[in-house]
Amino acid sequence: MKSHWMIVGLLVASLGLSGCGYNRIQVTDEQVTSGWAEVLNQYQRRADLVPNLVNVVKGYAAHEKDVLTQVTEARAKVGSVQVNANDPNSLEKYQAAQGELSSALSRLLVVSENYPTLKADAGFRDLQAQLEGTENRITVARNRYIQAVQEYNVLARSFPSNLTAMVFGYQPKPSFAVQNEAQISAPPVVDFGKK
């Protein structure tokens, strides 16, 4: 008789857990984790392209050393930042480092406009196309991550799943946000008067 009540109790408990949002929290938490992994994957792809791009440009525009150095330093800074997507401060530092790399790459591509032979180089064009494709992939991956975080946060804050989230220690996650929208929407300033 005790085993009968034990089975009934387990059945009621499992039905209670499935109705409280626990499983859905697990699914959305995993979506956030995989979304972040894809963001990192695309950023790594971009970081891997940078040395090749710098080397091609270096052959044509050796006297643009400052721009080349900025790109190399920005890439190194990105590699040195340890990011934890659940820590807003860590995420902010990572975003800032990625922003610096984006800005440095933009300046590098602007510099390349002054060298017609560089623009005509097949290797440079291929790397530039790969970089543009990667930037698009980064945008898509970031958007998917932002949507996954939004879905998770809504679930973690909505009743009755918020009670389950509190019991199991699931906190809302920080989203991937732009530091300074006005600053990044402005085109980079490049001064060629320092040659």
DSSP secondary structure string, 106-133?
HHHHHHHTT-HHHHH-HHHHHHHHHHHH
Number of neighbours of residue 36 by Cβ within 10 angstroms: 23
Is it the case that residue 184 has pLDDT exceeding 60? no
Instruction: Say which amino acid occupies 9.
Output: G
Phi, psi of 147 (to 5 degrees): -65, -40
Angle at Cα 140 formed by Cα 139 and Cα 145, nearest 5°? 100
Write the burial class of residue 160 (CB in 10 Å: 0-12 exposed, 13-18 middle, 19+ buried). Answer: exposed
Q: Check residue 169 and give left, alpha or beta (phi > 0: left; psi -120 to 50: alpha).
A: left
Q: Is the peptide bond before 160 cis (omega within 30 degrees of 0)?
A: yes
H and E: helices and strands count for the chain: 8, 0
Kindly tell me if the per-residue pLDDT of 8 is higher than 70.
Answer: no
Average pLDDT over the chain reads: 82
**Amino acid identity, residue 181?**
E
Q: What is the pLDDT of residue 154?
A: 95
The residue written with tokens 């090749």 in the block is 52
pLDDT score, position 1: 67
CB neighbours of residue 145 within 10 Å:
24
The lowest-confidence range among 2-16, 61-75, 98-112 is 2-16
Average pLDDT over every residue of 44-65 = 83
Burial class (CB in 10 A: 0-12, 13-18, 19+), 39: buried
Torsion of CA 76, 79, 82, 83, to 10 degrees: 120
pLDDT bracket for residue 142 (50, 70, 90): very high
Q: What is the rounded CA–CA span in Å between residue 140 and residue 42?
A: 10
